[in-house]
Structure 1
Amino acid sequence: MQQIPNRIGKRPRVQPHADFVEREDGFYLYLDMPGVEKEKLHLDIENDKLSVQAKSDFGLTSGERVHSMEFGEVEYFARFEVSELVDKQKVSAKFENGVLTIYLPKRKEAPPKRIKIEVL
């Protein structure tokens, strides 16, 4: 996980590990975000930018001493450029076992159009 230097309150802001795969039907983006609950996950597309934001909660109880913590309470944030090849109206996502899968379907190309020529 790449540490991004700024913080949001007490939570460090980190960029989740990501895999980007192209298949015949579209693009798949897989983001690893352990500890995130669906209710604290937000996905937006605006001006050809895909933004993912989430918060993880690994609350410590009183009396616990942390000896090592590699992914505690963090804010995940990632932004991606969305290609003109993507049909932005049909983007979908699912979140399962700490992995966000975003499906970015390829836009259907308009079939060639024959233009009728009028004789004057």
Structure 2
Amino acid sequence: MQQMPKRMGKRPRVQPPADFVERADGFYLYLDMPGVDKEKLLLDIENDKLSVHAKSNFGLTAGERVHSMEFGEVEYYARFEVSELVDKEKVSAKFENGVLTIYLPKREEVPPKRIQIEVL
């Protein structure tokens, strides 16, 4: 087998595969990001935008020869629109086995307030 050429320049930027699921308590966003360390994962919510940014690191050591590489060091980036149905103050996330799970809880609906009319 031939040795693969070394990659020059920046890491390729890719959008991670994502599943979006609605349940009674809220929305769940699952992002597949193999090779990412939790320390290199950023999750921001600003205005109505949720952004995810991470870098994978498969770090080859000196003397290794790559014979085949279907995925390698990449920069993951995704941006999502957040609905007004989501309580942005309670968004949470966990990262396990290369899968980022973002929980977007639904806002509690405030019932309309009835105003009493005073008769004069």
Q: Same fold (TM over 0.5)?
A: yes
Matched residue SS, 2:12:
strand
Instruction: Tell me by how many angstroms 1:62 deviates.
Output: 2.0
Identity of paired residues, percent?
A: 89
2:4 matched to which residue of 1?
A: none
Q: How does 1:51-66 map to 2 (within 5 A)?
A: 51-66=51-66
Paired residue type of 2:69: M
Distance in structure 2 (CA, Å) of the matches to 1:11 and 1:98 = 18
Instruction: Tell me by how many angstroms 1:111 deviates.
Output: 1.7
2:78 matched to which residue of 1?
A: 78
Matched residue SS, 1:11:
coil
Instruction: Tell me by how many angstroms 1:85 deviates.
Output: 0.3
Q: Which one has a larger percent strand, Structure 1 or Structure 2?
A: 1
1:109 and 2:109 are equivalent in the alignment: yes
- Structure 1's consecutive aligned runs of 4 or more residues displaced over 3 angstroms after TM superposition are none
Instruction: Tell me by how many angstroms 1:63 deviates.
Output: 2.2
1:87 matched to which residue of 2?
A: 87
Q: Which has the larger radius of gyration?
A: 2
Q: How does 1:1-120 map to 2 (within 5 A)?
A: 9-120=9-120
Paired residue type of 1:118: E
1:4 matched to which residue of 2?
A: none
1:3 matched to which residue of 2?
A: none
Distance in structure 1 (CA, Å) of the matches to 2:36 and 2:19 = 18
Name the stretch that deviates more: 30-39 or 62-71.
Answer: 62-71
Instruction: Tell me by how many angstroms 1:107 deviates.
Output: 0.5
Structure 1 residue runs without a partner (length 5+): 1-8
Distance in structure 2 (CA, Å) of the matches to 1:20 and 1:58 = 27
Structure 2 residue runs without a partner (length 5+): 1-8
- Aligned length, in residue pairs: 112
Paired residue type of 1:97: N
- Provide TM-score, normalisation by structure 1: 0.89
- Provide TM-score, normalisation by structure 2: 0.89
Paired residue type of 2:56: S
